[in-house]
Structure 1
Amino acid sequence: MTHDSSRYMMPMRSKLKWFMTATLLVSVALYYFTREVIPRQLVMYTGQPGGFYHQVGAYLQKAWESQTPGQLSLQTSSGSQENYHALRSSQADLALIQGGVVDLNGLSIIAPISSDLVHVLVRKDAAIKRITDLKGHAILVGMPDSGMASSAEKLLQFYGLDESNAQWIYDYFTEMEENGDIDAAIVTAGILNDDLNRLLLTGGYRILPVEFSEAFCAKNAFFTQATIHRGLYRMGEVLLQEDIPTVATKALLVASKNISPKVIDQMLVTLFEKSAGLHSPVMINAREVRQQQDLSLHPRAMQYFHPADQIGYMANVIESLAALKELAVALVAGLYLLWDRWRRQQEKELAKQLFNDKEKLDKLLAQTVDVERRYADAHSQEDLQGMLRQVMQIKIQALEELTHESLRGDRVFLIFMTQCSNLIDSIQSKMNRISSDARNNLNDPH
């Protein structure tokens, strides 16, 4: 490489180094600010303080905060409708919503977590034998905008009951204890609902069967036939004495549309592996979720419950690769900068070696000049022999120690080696002449 080309390459290398440094910094910044992370703070809407949804929320809160560095704040609510609006307005990140109450398009279903049974409660001494007998009575249907109220309205309308032939009261079902004018309540809740169990424990209520349940489920999505098994509740001093047919819907864990996939991954682990369910035996397990085909789960949840789905697997791989593109660019830039630093270090070491070799060459050159100066005045075989050994040692030392390629091709080094060779030849020639003169003197007596 010529001197001019070297001068041209140096600024090019410098520009490339600064470009790669800038690329590294920008790539790391992009990766840091766009990577998927679990937020430090999440808000979850549940339900009434004594209800099962709030119990589930409390279990999840405890498990979440023990397994992640984030916090899960719980917000009580009137029920599914309020939770739905909280998700839509970004007031909530997560919420528990009763299936079939609202249109969940635009939201992300993470998983069904439990079954909510429909309990049609009437006072024990009331002359009410079936749901159609509720015509003309005061019926407590649930809190306004709650999933419980929505289920009650659907059930009553199926049996031909509306606000023209029955009094619908929108309040929490425990109001039945305080208000003796309320004849019935329709409670959609899990079997571990504390308020429901406490109400039935008073012994003042009966549970009516839901007749024609198959037809009701055919007309209402998310509902399935179910049974309230005998012995499930304590009704005063005795356990429930008979199986009661009813219908059930699912409690769903739902997230806002822009929820981080990392949150979904960790929430599924919390629900189905790290075991919030140990505190709630009625929660649906992963095997039961896999058997359900009627739920449109978030793609990340589908990958969790159906890992053999190759399409979902490949989508996950592609998504992961896309998320890592900035990090890959940063890695390339970082490797280049490491290589550039190593190269410059090597150049420094080679330059230092070249400098040291040149200093050695100057010293060896001075030694040969000194020998050459003494050579002119030397006339004895002994002196010349010593000079010859000294020059040969200087030459061998130069060949062994001066190894830098740039120095070996340097004009000064070539002059030095030529000088050594010529001086050796001159010393040997002079030694031969002295030997020849000595033999001639011995042969010529005059």
Structure 2
Amino acid sequence: MSYRVKNMISWLLLAIAGILILVWGYQKSTESKVIRIATASKGGYYYEYGMLLKRQIEKKTDYEVQLLVTRGSVDNRGKLLSNEADFAIVGTNSVSMQNLFIVAPLWQDYMHLVVRKGSKINSMTELAGHNVALGTQGSGYRAQSMKVLEHFALDADQFGMNDLYFTKLLSDTALEGAIVTTGLLNPDLRQVMSSGLFRLIPLEGAEGYALNHSQLTTAQIPAGVYSAVNGPVPAVPVQTIATYAVMASRTGLPEKMVQAVLDQLNTDEMRRDAPVMLDINPTQDNVLRYLPLHPVSTRYYNPFVGLDNFSRLLGQIAEHKILIIEMLIIGAVVIMQLGQIRRRRKEQVRVNMAAELESLFSKTIEIEGAQKEARDWRLLKQYLVEVMRLKQQAVSLVQGSELAESVLFLSTIQQCADVMRQIEWRLSAMQLTEVAKKEVEATRASLSE
């Protein structure tokens, strides 16, 4: 019963391993070769950067890239959480990174307070009561605008035409300004500033505002960063705040896919075509170090080189855990089956030895019966030699085995000894009888003489 139960368990484990292999194979076969990246609206730098990355990934890997046009960071986060996108460009101060991963820092987004030239607006508080674009619903622009308004105790209702995209400044003169948080290479913002119709005003109290938000830092918009018909603007650096734009991912992505994107983000070609990209280590940055970094990125940026291989090994184990479990189960089944085979072979050897011992025992019984009928001392000697041979054969058979202490072996040896004593006794008796005969014959012969 023990062998039967163990055999059933081993086959059950093998069946489970087979099912897991099928699951693993199905997962690998259905693993997507399409990378979906959520950007923002066309014309913005998020989308333009997405185009650069798409070209690089499709050139250097076997993945196809789909760019998703969205309303911006807030919309992008929703698409990641709903699995509509695999990666997305988001502003760290625009959305929560809970249940998401940072793959890599990209650049800094600067808050631009844009007003028309000739306007008497010179500060954030003076924007209230005017038509100012705060960004469309779901955009990172609007999320940043809402936060800065809250800091200055302002409300969106105090601004007319506030739900428009800032490029409306070029077509609608009723729109007096905009709050735009974006990178310095944003094509739409560059188009607005190149018209020469607008200027940038500083964000007063930028240091205090940044102090209240862990994902913000004070910054200056460099002088002359934007080309304009009347010469580069701004004429002097403009005080403002900045936040990080990062490549984020949803959870559950294959590490191979994340690695492919991360590798292409940091190529020389990408840094050449996107000169605003940051060259920082997020594990050491005062802001990014507190945000969830993807395990692949953690290994990539890990400054402790000696631990990198171990960390990579752990990542590979985690990625292939199903296959590893399958191999362990198969290994356990193989070991169990080999153990069963060895035990069966050992048992078969024992059974064969026991059968041979029984045969030897039976032969001694037969000889015991036969010798009782023998009257010829020469035949008795043959029986004696045969029993001695059977005894020696039994000893040689069980030597070094567990049968050496078995009742069957001991009974066989005892039986051989008993039969040998009986034969030896009869041989002795025959010898005495023969001697007596010879003496009688000798006596008779002497008397007759």
In the other structure, the counterpart of 1:306 is 302
**How far off is 1:40 after superposition?**
0.9
User: Following TM superposition, by how much is the alpha carbon of 1:159 offset from its aligned partner in structure 2, in angstroms?
Assistant: 2.4
Which deviations, in whole Å up to 9, do the C-alpha atoms of 1:249-284 show, x marking residues without a partner? 111211111222222222111111364222100011
Displacement after TM superposition at 1:26 (Å): 6.1
The count of corresponding residues between Structure 1 and Structure 2 is 326
- Structure 1 segments unaligned to the other structure (5+ residues): 1-14, 337-446
Q: Secondary structure at the match of 1:248?
A: strand
- Pairwise mapping of residues 231-250 of structure 1 onto structure 2 (< 5 A)? 231-240=224-233, 241-250=235-244
Residues 162-220 of structure 1: CA distance to partner in whole angstroms, max 9, x if unpaired? 23543351111001111111111011111111111111111000100011111101112
% identical equivalent positions? 26
Cα displacement (A) at 1:158: 2.1
Partner residue in 1 for 2:277: 283
Structure 1 match to 2:162 = 169
Structure 1 counterpart of 2:249, from 216, 230, 255: 255
Would you say 1:188 and 2:181 are equivalent positions? yes
Which residue of structure 1 lines up, in the alignment, with residue 197 of structure 2? 204
Aligned counterparts of 1:35 and 1:304: Cα–Cα separation in 2:
24
1:137 aligns with 2:136: no
Q: What do the CA deviations read for 1:81-109 (whole angstroms, capped 9, x no partner)?
A: 11111111111111111112222211122
- Partners of 2:281 and 2:175 lie apart in 1 by 41
Structure 2 residue aligned with 1:297, among 275, 293, 315?
Answer: 293
Secondary structure of 1:174's partner?
A: helix
Q: TM-score, normalised by structure 2?
A: 0.65
1:80·1:145 contact (CA, 8 Å) conserved in 2?
yes
Contact 1:101–1:150 under 8 Å retained in 2: yes
**Pick aligned residue for 1:65 from 38, 55, 58:** 58
**Shift in alpha-carbon separation, 1:161–1:31, aligned structure 2, 3 A:** closer
Residues 326-378 of structure 1, C-alpha deviations (whole Å, 9 max, x = no match): 57559969x99xxxxxxxxxxxxxxxxxxxxxxxxxxxxxxxxxxxxxxxxxx
In 2: Cα distance, 1:133 partner to 1:179 partner: 20
> Amino acid of the residue matched to residue 298 of structure 2?
M
Give the deviation of 1:321 after TM superposition.
3.6
**For residues 47-62 of structure 1, what are the structure 2 equivalents within 5 Å?**
47-62=40-55
* Equivalent residue letter for 2:40: G
CA contact (8 A) 2:299 2:311 kept: no
The one-letter code matched in structure 1 to 2:304 is A
1:128-170 CA deviation, whole Å, 9 max, x = no partner?
1222221211110111111101111222232232235433511
**Alpha-carbon distance in 2 for matches of 1:121, 1:76:** 25
Aligned partners of 1:332 and 1:66: how far apart in 2? 41
- Distance in 2 of aligned mates of 1:109 and 1:24: 35
- The partner residue of 1:96 within 84, 89, 93 is 89
Asked whether the 8 Å contact 1:38–1:263 carries over to 2, the reply is no
Q: Tell me the secondary structure at the aligned position of residue 209 of structure 2.
A: helix
Q: In structure 2, list runs of 5 or more residues that go unmatched.
A: 1-7, 336-449
Q: Structure 1 counterpart of 2:324, which letter?
A: K
Deviation at 1:299, TM superposition (A): 2.3
Q: What residue number does 1:268 align with?
A: 262
Which of 107, 110, 123 is equivalent to 1:117? 110
Maintained 8 Å contact 1:37/1:260: no
Equivalent residues of 1:36, 1:261 under 8 A apart: no
C-alpha separation between the residues in 2 aligned to 1:286 and 1:266? 19
2:314 matched to 1:318? yes
Cα distance change of structure 1 residues 129 and 43 upon mapping to structure 2, 3 Å threshold: same
Do residues 40 (structure 1) and 36 (structure 2) align?
A: no
The Cα of 1:121 is off from its aligned counterpart by 0.3
Task: Give the conservation status (yes or no) of the 8 Å contact 1:144–1:170.
Answer: yes
Q: Which amino acid aligns with 2:196?
A: G
Alpha-carbon spacing, 1:62–1:160, altered in 2? closer, same or farther (3 Å): same
Separation in structure 2 between the aligned mates of residue 250 and residue 156 of structure 1, nearest angstrom:
20
What is the CA–CA distance in structure 1 between the aligned matches of 2:142 and 2:269, rounded to whole Å? 31
Computed over aligned residues only, the root mean square deviation of the Cα atoms, in angstroms, reads 3.4
Query: 3-state DSSP class of the match of 1:116?
Result: strand
DSSP 3-state at the match of 1:87 = helix
